[in-house]
Structure 1
Amino acid sequence: MYDQPKLSELIRFARVGADSTVIDVYPGDGDWTRLFSDIVGPKGRVYSFVPAEVAHFKNDPVGRMRTLATEPGRENVEAVSADLIAMPKVTQPADVLWLHLFYHDLHTPLMQARGATAAHFNRVVYEQLKPGGYYVIVDHAAAVGQGTSDAQSLHRIEPASVREEVEAAGFVLDAESTMLANKDDPHSIKVFDPAIKGETDRFAYRFVKP
């Protein structure tokens, strides 16, 4: 996770507030789900959405989120799982859909095995957000000109490619942030490399559904 100033800025950037309904896609350890749960309060809702494409992982991502949802004060959290493109079947229309360090995975064989191309998933997100809702994407940046070619090998994606794909689904870019940028990232090594892990050059986009 990030230090407190960056966390606070990211929360503001995502436009998550009291009473919001948020879908946290591929929640990992659940850190963002917990943060959103605290922010939206008892009248809000947080869907901790584990794609079925990764539900079989040995760390039991679905079970972990179901356990999280039983923590004291987490009555506003619901752990759900389905194929990526079946997300609307297990969630309600949302104010914010949050995608943290995951968008690039939409261009990998694992995520596409059940038919979830980036284009298809973006259309599903568009359908599931309320009018005026926000689609917020934070990811590891690939070098300019690389497009989606480093998604599998380096877990990176070029920001311009993300913008092009999301806007093609009908979204409008509402804001972008360089708060997580790192000009010293060579962009040519895997994000898990000890030389850059946790310090990758990252971009943040907030798209709105008109």
Structure 2
Amino acid sequence: MKAMTQMMTVAAATLLLMACGNNDSTSEVSGMTLTQAVNENPARDPENLKRDVYRNPIETLTFFDVQPDMTVVEIWPGGGWYTEILAPYLKEQGQLYAAHFPQSETRDFYVNSRKKFVERVASDEAFGAIQVTEFAPSENSAIAPAGSVDRILTFRNLHNWYMGGGNQALEGAFATFYTALKPGGILGVVDHRLPEQRPVTEQDSSGYMKASIAIAAAQAAGFVLVAESDINANPEDTAAHPRGVWSLPPTLSLGEQDRARYQAIGESDRFTLKFKKPETSS
């Protein structure tokens, strides 16, 4: 990575959280602090809690400086792993947009995932204030009103867009994010990391992405890279598995084959990137 890029470790992010104290000090006005939204939140599925050790939600959201009074867009929330945290955290003062799969999508997985999510928003009080929109990387998606968003967050999605549409899909995605963000707004990106020395063709099917590819696509859209973090790094992951990233937990696509070995590795090595839309952007 370029020397000018600020590197933050888990320890650094944790120190930032402790030093600022903003998330816990806002409890009287926000209703739920970030720590409470992660650790004391009845809306969270117990199975999701088990993955905190790999997904590091407190450190990650602190690194992206997500505050309870912000307007936030979560891209492709899937079943709502991060939504379970963001929804109660933002409920009192902020606004959460969940830009889910497009309604025009006809494939069963996408249709069923969106349907289940929409039903949960309608029935779960913790999800009640969410605005469900849609996103497709190849379209000019209205994920939120233009220029209205403080934070856009996308977790482990870039590889899907790249495998489906290559660099053109990435260009479309980052252009959409740029349009929705306010000047000065932050885009947070997490994805499975492909080592830089590996052939770029491995991105076509492995589920891993080079951080340099993500950075270049964001910068081409006008974003400035503010910082990188190793919060979600896993040095045990070589990114060289028979069925790509899906060989690892939680998917374990090889079944019982080498299961203990993959469980010992844990979830994937991930890059965590923080981009900013310039203040002077029109």
Q: TM-score range by the shorter chain?
A: 0.7 to 0.9
Matches within 5 A, 1:1-210: 1-3=51-53, 6-52=56-102, 56-58=107-109, 60-70=112-122, 71-84=124-137, 85-88=139-142, 90-92=143-145, 93-109=148-164, 112=165, 117-146=169-198, 148-189=200-241, 190-193=244-247, 194=252, 195=262, 198-210=266-278
Report the Cα distance in structure 2 between the residues aligned to 1:49 and 1:10, rounded to whole angstroms.
20
Show structure 1 runs of 5+ residues with no match: none
Report the Cα distance in structure 1 between the residues aligned to 2:199 and 2:152, rounded to whole angstroms.
23
- Higher-Rg member (1/2): 2
Deviates more, 1:61-70 or 1:22-31: 61-70
Q: What is the alpha-carbon root mean square deviation over aligned residues?
A: 2.5
Q: CA deviation at 1:181?
A: 1.2
Q: CA deviation at 1:21?
A: 1.1
More strand by share: 1
CA pair 7-33 structure 1, distance change in 2 beyond 3 A: same
| Residues 4-35 of structure 1, C-alpha deviations (whole Å, 9 max, x = no match) | 99221011012211121111111111121121
Deviates more, 1:96-105 or 1:79-88: 79-88
Report the Cα distance in structure 2 between the residues aligned to 1:2 and 1:26, rounded to whole angstroms.
19
Secondary structure of 1:150's aligned partner: helix
Report the Cα distance in structure 2 between the residues aligned to 1:186 and 1:34, rounded to whole angstroms.
30
Report the Cα distance in structure 2 between the residues aligned to 1:148 and 1:38, rounded to whole angstroms.
39
Q: TM-score, normalised by structure 2?
A: 0.66
Contact kept in structure 2, 1:55 and 1:62, CA below 8 Å: no
Q: TM-score, normalised by structure 1?
A: 0.87
Report the Cα distance in structure 1 between the residues aligned to 2:154 and 2:234, rounded to whole angstroms.
20
Contact kept in structure 1, 2:193 and 2:271, CA below 8 Å: yes
CA pair 148-135 structure 1, distance change in 2 beyond 3 A: farther
Report the Cα distance in structure 1 between the residues aligned to 2:144 and 2:199, rounded to whole angstroms.
31
Aligned sequence identity (%): 22
Report the Cα distance in structure 1 between the residues aligned to 2:217 and 2:127, rounded to whole angstroms.
34
Secondary structure of 1:17's aligned partner: coil
Deviates more, 1:93-102 or 1:149-158: 149-158
CA pair 2-148 structure 1, distance change in 2 beyond 3 A: farther
The answer for the alignment partner of 2:21 in structure 1 is: none
| Residues 150-208 of structure 1, C-alpha deviations (whole Å, 9 max, x = no match) | 33311000111111111111111112110111222112221111426752111100101
Residue 96 of structure 1 aligns to which amino acid in structure 2?
Answer: R
Contact kept in structure 2, 1:147 and 1:160, CA below 8 Å: no
Secondary structure of 2:202's aligned partner: coil
Secondary structure of 2:126's aligned partner: coil
Q: How many residues align?
A: 206
The answer for the alignment partner of 2:23 in structure 1 is: none
CA pair 147-16 structure 1, distance change in 2 beyond 3 A: farther
Contact kept in structure 1, 2:140 and 2:172, CA below 8 Å: no
